[in-house]
Structure 1
Amino acid sequence: MIEIDNIKKSFDGKEVLKGISGVFEKGKTNLIIGASGTGKSVLLKCIVGLIKPDEGTVFYDNRDFTNADRNLKTDIRREIGMLFQGGALFDSKNVEQNVIFPLNVLTQMPLDEKLDRVNFCLQRVGLENVNKKMPSEISGGMKKRVGIARAIVNNSSYLFCDEPNSGLDPQTAITIDNLIKEITEEFNITTIVVTHDMNSVMEIGDYVMFLHEGLKVWEGSDQNIMKSQVKELNDFVFANKMMRTVRNEETPG
């Protein structure tokens, strides 16, 4: 479980996050949604420690991460897996080398055990016999799968996904969504996904936090989001539907 309490952040005198609190439960896919510029990515960076909030606290299973000493922060970071937008694979490394990278950095595990773990994770995301392929030789969806394998290779307790469906066709995006949800439940991970994609919300949104102009203005599940009486959320949902309609009309065939 991850809990955030009254997170505030400003840049050059402009408030980006205006006191956001919430609880992201273990074994559930927790989504942070909102239009561009609403503070989603800044909040994610505050949670993982890439940015220190001006006020507020982040707790990882009741451990104060924001004010932790160096040793505790290092321990918590070892438990974190990240799926970056676009996959963020090392172009000069093959699939196996990409996935094994966290194990090389964070553990003293023997090589044979590392390779066993790499192969297990690749098989779990539906990729076999691609170990020696370069990122340039695989599709965008496969790159995201490799990114997920790398994110969980260190037995992560916490998984963060930044726009995991960016650049993917609708069918592949659904596959990636379902894979994230399956892995979250199977390994009982605390997963936080930052997205603006309503398809993801309706597919896997166990808990959804909607941000608008740096504020949390709604929270709930995919089951009740369509019943919302919050104007900003309804406008966001409608705009998302319109964008999907336009994209579908522009897609040949």
Structure 2
Amino acid sequence: MIEIKNIQKTFQGKTVLSDISATFEQGKTNMIIGASGTGKSVLLKTIVGLFEPDAGSVFYDGRDFHQSNRKEQKIIRSEIGMLFQGSALFDSLTVADNVRFPLNVHSKMSESEKDDRVNTCLKRVGLEQAANKMPSEISGGMQKRVGIARAIVMKSQYLFCDEPNSGLDPQTAWMIDQLIHEITDEFNLTTVIVSHDMNSVMEIGEYIMFMYQGLKIWEGNKDTILDAEPKELRDFLFSNKLVRTFKGMQ
């Protein structure tokens, strides 16, 4: 579980995050949504420690990240897996070596143990046959699956996904959503997803936080979001064709 309490962040006198609090539960797909420029990515970077909050706290299973010493922060970071918007694979490394990279940096496994772990993760995302290919030789959806395998290779407890469906066609995006949801449930991860993709929200949004101009305006889940009252959220939702279709089917 990850708890954020009263997070505030200002850049050059402009408040980007204002008194944000939320609880992201273990074993659930937790989503942070909102239009571009609402502070979603800044919040994500603050949670994972790339930004220091001006005020507030981030707790990983009770451990206050920003008040921890470097050794304790390193331990927490080793428990975090990241799926980046552009997959962020190393072009010069094979698929297998991309997945192996965190093990080389952070683990003391033997080479055979690394091989076994890499093969296990690639098999879990259905890419064991692509182990020796280069990123340029596989599709965008496959690259996202490699990114997921790399994110879980260290047996992460916390999985962060930044716009995981960016640049994907609808069918591939749906497959990535389902894979993230399955892995979250299977490994009992605390998963936090930043997205503006309403397909994802309606498919896997077990907890949803809506942000508007640096504020948390609403929280709920995919079953309650269509009846949410805040005008800002309704404007965001019903500018989306998919949500208008869902509402018409009720």
Q: Normalization by structure 1: what TM-score? A: 0.95
Other-structure match for 2:31: 31
Give, as a single letter, the amino acid of the residue that structure 1 aligns with 2:13.
Answer: G
Deviations 1:1-45 (A, max 9, x none): 000000000100000001100000000000000000000000000
Q: Which stretch of the first structure deviates more once superposed, 226-235 or 138-147?
A: 226-235
Gaps of 5+ in 1: 246-253
Count of aligned positions: 245
Correspondence 1:239-250 to 2 at 5 A: 239-241=239-241
How far apart in 2 are the matches of 1:71 and 1:153?
A: 21
| SS of the residue 1:229 aligns to | coil
1:2 equivalenced with 2:5 (yes/no): no
1:155 equivalenced with 2:167 (yes/no): no
Structure-2 change in CA distance of 1:234 and 1:244 (3 Å): closer
| SS of the residue 1:208 aligns to | strand
Deviations 1:109-151 (A, max 9, x none): 0011101110110110111211110000000000000000000
How far apart in 1 are the matches of 2:30 and 2:6?
A: 18
Other-structure match for 2:218: 218
| SS of the residue 2:9 aligns to | strand
Other-structure match for 1:236: 236
| SS of the residue 2:67 aligns to | coil
Give, as a single letter, the amino acid of the residue that structure 1 aligns with 2:56.
Answer: G
Give, as a single letter, the amino acid of the residue that structure 1 aligns with 2:203.
Answer: E
| SS of the residue 1:175 aligns to | helix
How far apart in 2 are the matches of 1:164 and 1:67?
A: 30
1:139 equivalenced with 2:147 (yes/no): no
How far apart in 2 are the matches of 1:87 and 1:177?
A: 15
Deviations 1:42-86 (A, max 9, x none): 000000000001000000000000111001000000000000001
| SS of the residue 1:66 aligns to | helix
- Deviation for aligned residue 1:242: 7.4
Structure-2 change in CA distance of 1:125 and 1:82 (3 Å): same
How many percent identity over aligned positions?
A: 68
- Deviation for aligned residue 1:204: 0.4
Other-structure match for 1:43: 43
- Deviation for aligned residue 1:241: 2.1
Structure-2 change in CA distance of 1:242 and 1:26 (3 Å): closer
Give, as a single letter, the amino acid of the residue that structure 2 aligns with 1:32.
Answer: I
Contact 1:165 1:173 survives alignment (8 Å): yes
Give, as a single letter, the amino acid of the residue that structure 2 aligns with 1:154.
Answer: M
How far apart in 2 are the matches of 1:179 and 1:239?
A: 27
